Amino acid sequence: MLPTGRRADIVVAGGIVRHVGAPVRADETIDCSRLTCLPGAVDMHVHMRGGVQAEKEDWRTGTMSAVAGGVTVVVDQPNTVPPITTPGLLRARVREAEEQAICGFAVNAGVLPDADLAGMRDAGAMAFGETFAAPSSYGEGLDAETLKELFARIHALGGLATVHAEEVIGPAPATLAEHDSARSGVGEARAVQAVSALAPAGIRLHFCHLSTAASVGAARGTVEATPHHLFLSHGMFDLDDTRARVNPPLRDEGTRRDLWSCWDTIDVVASDHAPHTVPEKAVPFEIAPSGIPGVETMVPLLMAAVRKKRITLASVIEKTSWRPAAILGIPRTGFEPGDRADFALYPDEITRIDASSLHAKCGWSPFEGLDAVFPEVVIVGGARAYACGDYLEAHPAWYPGQGYLSPKNK
């Protein structure tokens, strides 16, 4: 069943959709009669860790988690250790992904004053950032003048600037409510407004993980929201529960509900998958790292909302697959000949999230017990990558940015 309600066969070969309609002969047939077929999701905001942070996550476990959640392309952020600021570091990150990933991927370039932005664009960076207008885990906050200069450089390169916008005040918070106050929703909206004002006219600008309706309204360019800001509020947790600590913070229940009122104007839903280990989180709140896992549960949470008729299936496809692909310039997956053949096949039944059955290396989830619909089968590059809990075939395709200069084109 296609999202339109039409029933048809999808014929793929060479990783591309060849025909949608009546049955034809095929080497392999997958029975989808009980399932709804969605285009594979593009999660344009993940932190796959790896390297010296491999205890938290690596490209293999992170992309296994993605595929099990119906995500077939992930875009890795550059605030790694060390941060990605040179063409050599970017190429090394791509090689690491090519060796371990099981689905499509792209890598962003770090935005710092000494970063070789042009070199990283030529080396295949998908976008620039997330660019930190406030400090966060492994990310250095930049002042307004520095941001303005860096935006001008990105704009001159024709690049996409992705921004983490917050205001940070006061001492280290000791509770989730204090964390919400220290990085307030009002401050976030002010930061979004300020960044929008200082960015040059015509720049391709994208705001990451906006957590309030006011922030969405203040943004120029495209905006992204996360499942944790849509589905979680800090009142759902004990006040000192570090597992719910994330930047921007979880908000109160009223603010969370207000964010849903912006559903039609939110361009992209992305996970901001940023895992930390249980021991790293099991410290006093004041010193606990911010960040939560979420790439595997992103689309399943939204699909449960579809089954409950809270949102439309078409809007989920637009925000998780087609719009992010268009923003990034990635070939779209869909139901027309020539489209990329990445699909996820979802049953009707709603289940509950059980962290013990997820695939992220950290082994926990803040969404424990929430309703979700997980895919039974996932197709990557025209082949079954995942079926009923089993991984079958890896397709680690790299998607370079539009400025990529391959050696043969130099």
- Beta carbons of 90 and 316 less than 8 angstroms apart: no
Query: Is 247 a known ligand-binding residue?
Result: no
3-state secondary structure of 86: coil
Nearest to 199 by CA among 227, 179, 180, 222: 222
- Beta carbons of 167 and 184 less than 8 angstroms apart: yes
Reading the block at residue 95, the tokens are 């090689």
- Beta carbons of 286 and 315 less than 8 angstroms apart: no
Query: Is 236 a known ligand-binding residue?
Result: no
Region 40-400: CATH code: 3.20.20.140
Structure confidence at residue 137 (pLDDT): 64
Residue 272: active-site member: yes
Cα atoms in the 13 Å half-sphere on the side-chain side of 75: 31
Query: Is 45 a known ligand-binding residue?
Result: yes
Query: Is 19 a known ligand-binding residue?
Result: no
Query: Is 224 a known ligand-binding residue?
Result: no
Query: Is 256 a known ligand-binding residue?
Result: no
Query: Is 130 a known ligand-binding residue?
Result: yes
CA 44 to the chain's CA centroid: 4
Query: Is 49 a known ligand-binding residue?
Result: yes
Reading the block at residue 71, the tokens are 């995500």
- Show the low-confidence residues of the chain (pLDDT under 50): none
Reading the block at residue 193, the tokens are 């407004």
Query: Is 164 a known ligand-binding residue?
Result: yes
Distance CA 60, CA 62 (A): 5
Catalytic residue among 58, 272, 339, 342: 272
- Beta carbons of 144 and 174 less than 8 angstroms apart: no
Nearest to 399 by CA among 299, 328, 339: 328
What DSSP state is assigned to residue 107?
A: E
Structure confidence at residue 3 (pLDDT): 87
Query: String of b and e for 388-410 (b: at least 16 CB within 10 Å)?
Result: eeebeebbbbbbbbebeeeeeee
Segments making up each domain of the chain, as ranges: 40-400
Structure confidence at residue 409 (pLDDT): 59
Structure confidence at residue 138 (pLDDT): 59
Query: Is 272 a known ligand-binding residue?
Result: yes
193-207 per-position pLDDT tens digit:
999 999 999 999 999
